[in-house]
Structure 1
Amino acid sequence: MKPIQLAASLVLAGVLTRPAVANPEEPAIELEPIQVRTASRTTETTSDALASVSVISAEDIRRSAARDLSDLLRLEAGIDVVRTGGPGQQTSVFMRGANSNHALVLIDGIRVSSAHTGAYAWEHLPLGIIERVEIVRGPRGSLYGSDAIGGVIQVFTRMPDAPFLRASLGSHASRALETGTGFALGAARFSLSAGYRELGGYSAQNPDGFSFHPDDDGFEARNIHLAGNGNARAGDWQFQVTATDNEVEFDQGISVSEQVLASLSLDGQWNERWNYRFYAGWADDRLSSDFGFFTSHFDSERIDLGWENRLRLEQATLVFGLDHYDEQGRSQSSYFGSRDNSGLFALWERDRERVALQLSGRIDDNSLFGTEVTHHAAVRIAVGAKTNFILSHGTAFRAPTLSEQFSPGFGGLFAGNPALEPETSETTELSVRFEFGPAAELGVAAYRSRVDDLIAYSGPNFQAVNINRAALDGLELEYRNTWRHWSLNANLTLQETEDRSTGAELLRRPEQKSSLRMTRQFAGGAWLAGEWFASGDQADVGGVRLPGYSLLNLSAGLPLAAGWTLEARLDNLLDHDYQPAHGFNGAGRAAYLGIAWSP
């Protein structure tokens, strides 16, 4: 049986069956409402959101004992993750078949994607600073502006209130250490944490790679995180500062990156009906690479400012605000580019007994390409007490990157184009959510997206031009259930992608993928968890088609005395051989053992 067929069977088995372990004398377990704020830029539950939303919680992260956030993202419906080599190597995240720079990434509300590439360096995000991750699939250009074509992923950083320590050792000469503490100064609370991770690694490429060398490619990463919150007359304030430093080896090369992200927000209310939020952020990203025959250096900086409001009307809710960002980038003195963008947005929602309606729109004014208008409409219809249908239609866009606009290219080839227009998209989605009792949910979503004016390098000099189009169609199935000491999360994604200029399938986006996660909680706080992930075959560079593969991972935790917990993770238990991308090695079987402490 093919990996995707086996995984799909496991998903459907989880949906259609429930272990006969329930005791009628035990109280019924109810799923806790999950709060999110990314889908509509205001706080709501996932069941109230008129969008396909999922959350990776702090508990999910802890019980997975994962090494990287990408290991958890690939288990989510509608998300494909491609890492070209081992941990620390370049990682691309595709949402609903769209390009990796078609997913807006926020950390505590601040844009963090590169001004040069438009994509975010997921491989440099320390897992230890994360409190939770909110994932919104589908266009959100009407609320956030550029980049939110495939969806939005927002990371919220943690603020521990007590000392903690976590250390681990494992395969590929892996070792990691995280420590930190929380403390109070008067009525204000603060936290300070730091992390270090080192990996001897394995060869990122195989003989099919463009610069193959059989040496091990490791990496070294350091991070520090400072956060605080408190109360003022104007409202509740909060800040965070994160600095990371990463050194990554690649076959016959090395890259060094430094990132600093700072954010400050103030939440308050004008009156009982009107809440507001002011925020500011600064992101600085520096990357240097040396491959002997070729060196590069990129610097980028972005300043974010925003004002959000939520006004509760008689029978509706109005969310509105404005935001502004300035960004600039430089590449080894070969080019320097800068631009600014201002946006005005509004969302109106009315929720009656069985029908909810949401309308939103946004106007962006960019200093380089002018004005872009996006809109979104969604309606939810309840059929009975346990079934909801949601129909939505929305538009989105992606602004050209500074590299696509200003890069001089190489020897006159692959040069940027200041006259580029934004890439635009239009998406229609129909979804249905079922509740089976108090502790089980099933969601099915079907979508159709069309992306126009895609930027490609074409013509005799391969200059950047708006020339390509893409069609993205898909079906997502999600199921979760909790009974007694067990929890189950399963999903199945079917998608078709097409480059409408050539008729070819888009690269590195499999037509099917599936995952199954089960966790068993034991008395005393111990747990055992299993993950099964399967991906279908996919097209890759040079006309190559990579075969599908599956991975089985296990994790466990055992509380000891005095706040200590023993943690373990086993990746790729069956030691399957696979390529995440043509010419790049996937990780074989790997084991990690760690110890964690908190009072």
Structure 2
Amino acid sequence: MRKKNLIWLFSVPFSLSTLCAAEVPKHYVMDETVVTATLTETPLKSVPAAMEVIDREEVQESGAMTLHQVLTEAQSVNLEAVSGRQSTARLRGLNSSNTLVLIDGMRLPSGFQDKVDLAEIPAGWIEKIEIVRGPSSALYGSDAIGGVINIITRKPTGEPEAWLNTRYGSNTEGEAEATSFDAGISATSGDFGYAVSGSFSDKGRVDEDLTDGFTDADDKKVKAGAATLTWQLGKDAELVAGVTYADVEREGLRFKNKKEQEWMNGSERSTGRVEFRSALGEDSSILLRAYRSVYDWGVTLTPISAGNPEAHAVDQTTDQFEARWAGRVFGSHKVTTGIEYRTEDREEDGLRSEIENLGVFLQDEVSITGRLSAILGLRFDDHSSFGSVYSPRVSARYQLNDELRLRGTYAEGFRAPSAFELYTGSDYTKRRILRPNPDLDPETSRTWEVGADFENDLFLLSVTAFRNDVDNMISEVFSGQFEGTIPIHESCNISEAMTQGVEVTARVSLGSGFSIHDELTVLDGENKTSGKALAYVPDVSNVLKLSYRDSAHGFSGNVRLVTLGGQYTDAESSVKADAYTLVNFSLSKSLTSHAKLYAGVDNIFDELVEDGYGNVYGPGSTGMFMYGGIGLNL
């Protein structure tokens, strides 16, 4: 029996009176290098922005099969289920269209309903994930008002390496059975390097009510592969080619047009890139890159009793060409500049549209004194649908001492209306009909954030306050009904909207291998035109993790409490889903230096999450879920 009692457990660990010496897990130290925030390799502690890095080990221990499942415990990332059983990410309460999702720095084209479905991206691709929370339009242009999620895939290694991971799991009722594996090889031989991987996952449906004509979660199969090849052209130059491919099949039941129907959905997502990198002396480098991202989506509804099938299709292709230079100027200035040209070609149920964008950006990372540094950035975009726009950014970081630093940012950004919003819209959905609007203006934003970070060998505390003011926010507005039952919405510009909040991250080493990690976000969002709360903006979210690690004996484990506050789940902000807390557990044991067993339980107390969230294999959607697996590294 699932429990409906809400466990309100969220806290920020404060300094303890006694701290024993202990091994500090590597992800507790901010010495690692990141690239997403500045487009150059920069130590995490030197970035004047709120960032989170999730590495391959954390992904494996979580038991996640998809990117969607990995991000359920990321700070200030709220997942929204949308039509077509898709899952999208919202950063800091802003729409998923304001969160830019990249693979190895490349944009992913949107699919059905103009969304990037995170549940289609396999966890086996992931080397690490870099999440930049906060405005990034000064570097990336459109779609990065809320931030950037960059999935970095595995790269060639110096020594030969091979890996195999396999996992099985199901809920306590024998539903949602899941089997997955991923395998790959990586090496460098002379001037040539390669990394090749493949993965497969198969997860069964969940159907809690056999009489309603709906499956609560569908049968789902994902076949995917990725490859990166490198060729060293002399001492300072490198040619890189890479591809990714994912094929997703879903089957389930839907009740539409007063009939029970068999729902079959298939999609293919692929990317291909060629890039040239070269050092120009000791202090500068260039990057030339061309890539194509393609997304094909199709669905067929076939009445079980009698009637003609209904079919819909979406195809979108994104091509981008870019050139970038980074180098030292006058000693204290680290300058990055670049130019991008991008086309987006979309066809949905026979309606075709194309968008072009030219972007030019300049960024200066300047060291003002030994303690004070700043980042000045400006980007110009010329868009085929609405004209040109500038996106400035000013960030500063001040190192008070070896353990405490302050940071702040002011930035302006924009989001161009998509081809889907301008020209195609969608009639295929049970929930609503969405009409396009060719008169849409771009969204523009003004964002500020201030923060402080304290860190030593045993303790880390990071606090960030932020506010986003968005003009002309594009949102769905109710405009009538079809056949008296199906609401008709139109994409419209809301005059003004706002999100604001506070993020707190704390990590404490307790000694004897134990540590506590807490990520708390308090959030508020408002449609300033109507005065109503924004949808999918939870008032609080928190992940509290107690971890244990014994490297000498190869044992590790953790207990995680995941809390999500109440939030509205419809465009009119009339349906509010209650808050919930889930308790998850995982452990792993190294059998040898090359083999590891791991197991876990998600939603230990079988908490029932309200249907209003529309979770698709999301938190709580399958009840208590148990899994186990083995990982081999050779």
**TM-score for the superposition, normalised by structure 1:** 0.91
Q: In percent, how many aligned pairs have the same letter?
A: 25
The alpha carbon displacement at 1:416 in A equals 2.2
Q: What is aligned with 1:537?
A: 566
Residue 181 of structure 2: aligned partner: 177
Deviation at 1:310, TM superposition (A): 1.3
Structure 2 stretches lacking a partner, 5+ long: 171-175, 255-262, 303-308, 481-487
Say yes or no: does 1:246 pair with 2:273: no
C-alpha deviation, 1:505, in angstroms: 1.1
Q: Which residue of 1 is the match for residue 116 of structure 2?
A: 120
CA contact (8 A) 1:456 1:468 kept: no
The 5 A counterparts of 1:395-414 are 395-407=412-424, 410=427, 414=434
Residue 283 (structure 1) aligns with:
293
2:137 pairs with 1:137: no
Distance 1:501-1:423 versus aligned 2 partners, 3 A rule = same
CA distance in structure 2 between the aligned counterparts of 1:318 and 1:513, rounded to whole angstroms: 37
Structure-2 change in CA distance of 1:443 and 1:327 (3 Å): same
Distance of 1:429 and 1:489 partners within structure 2:
23
1:73 aligns to what SS in structure 2?
helix
For residue 462 of structure 1, report the CA deviation from its aligned partner. Answer: 5.3
**Which amino acid letter does the alignment assign opposite residue 228 of structure 1?**
L
Q: Does residue 557 in structure 1 map to residue 567 in structure 2?
A: no
- 1:438 deviates by 2.3
The equivalent residue for 2:380 is 363
1:147 Cα offset (Å):
0.1
Matched with 1:146 is 142
Higher alpha-carbon deviation: 58-67 or 301-310: 58-67
The amino acid across from 1:386 in the alignment is E
Tell me if structure 1 keeps the 8 A contact 2:109–2:293. Answer: no
Instruction: Answer yes or no: is the 8 Å Cα contact 1:204–1:251 preserved in 2.
Output: no
Superposed CA deviations along residues 155-187 of structure 1, whole A, max 9, x for unmatched, are 100136422211121102211121222244542
CA RMSD for the aligned pairs?
Answer: 2.7
Aligned equivalents of 2:138, 2:377: Cα separation in 1: 6
Look up the match of 1:228.
229
Q: Is the 8 A contact 2:111 2:314 kept in 1?
A: no
Question: Which residue of structure 2 aligns with residue 494 of structure 1?
Answer: 522
Residue 6 (str. 1) matches residue 23 (str. 2)? no
Question: Which of 490, 501, 518 is matched with 1:474 structurally?
Answer: 501
Q: Secondary structure at the match of 2:61?
A: helix
Selected match of 1:346 from 352, 359, 362: 362
Match of residue 213 from structure 1: 214
Q: Distance in 2 between matches of 1:214 and 1:108?
A: 35
Residues 581 and 262 (structure 1), Cα distance of their counterparts in 2 relative to 1, 3 Å cut: farther
The match for 2:320 is: 304
The partner residue of 1:57 within 55, 58, 61 is 55
> Separation in 2 of the partners of 1:408 and 1:492?
36
Query: In the alignment, what sits opposite 2:206?
Result: 202
From 452, 457, 463, the counterpart of 1:444 = 463
Go from structure 1 to structure 2 and tell me whether the alpha carbon gap of 1:280 and 1:405 turns closer, same or farther (over 3 Å shift): same
In the TM superposition, what is the alpha-carbon distance from 1:346 to its structure 2 partner? 0.6
Tell me the equivalent position of 1:581. Answer: 612
Q: Which runs of 5+ in 1 are unaligned?
A: none
Q: Show CA shifts across 1:345-389 (max 9, x none).
A: 011122221211221000001122111111011122232332222
**Inter-CA distance 44–480: structure 2 relative to 1 (3 Å threshold):** same
3-state SS in 1 of match to 2:440: coil
Q: Structure 1, residues 512-545: CA drift from partner, whole Å, max 9, x if none?
A: 0100123222223221122211011111226222
Q: Which residue in 2 is equivalent to 1:272?
A: 282
The AA in structure 1 aligned to 2:43 is T
Q: Determine the C-alpha separation between the residues in 2 that align with 1:417 and 1:497.
A: 25
| Displacement of 1:120 | 1.6
- Paired residue type of 1:555: S
For the Cα contact (< 8 Å) 1:203–1:251, is it kept in 2?
no
Question: Which residue is 1:594 aligned to?
Answer: 629
Separation (CA, whole Å) in 1 of partners of 2:41 and 2:210: 47
8 Å CA contact 2:248, 2:267 repeated in 1: yes
- The 3-state SS of whatever aligns with 2:9 is helix
Q: TM-score, normalised by structure 2?
A: 0.86
Q: Which moved more, 1:184-193 or 1:146-155?
A: 184-193
Give the total of aligned pairs: 585
1:228-271 deviations in Å (ceiling 9; x for gaps): 22311361232321111101234322211111111232222222
- Checking the alignment, whether the CA contact within 8 Å between 2:496 and 2:527 is kept in structure 1 is yes
Residue in 1 that maps onto 2:260: none
TM superposition shift of 1:27: 10
Whether 1:263 and 2:273 are equivalent positions in the alignment is yes
Confirm or deny: 8 A CA contact 1:63 1:529 kept in the other structure. no
State the alpha-carbon separation in 2 of the partners of residues 205 and 338 from structure 1. Answer: 43
Task: Give the corresponding residue for 1:567.
Answer: 598
CA deviation string 1:28-84 (max 9, x = no partner): 998360111111111101110011111011222133232333333232222112346
Give the structure 2 partner of residue 108 of structure 1. 104
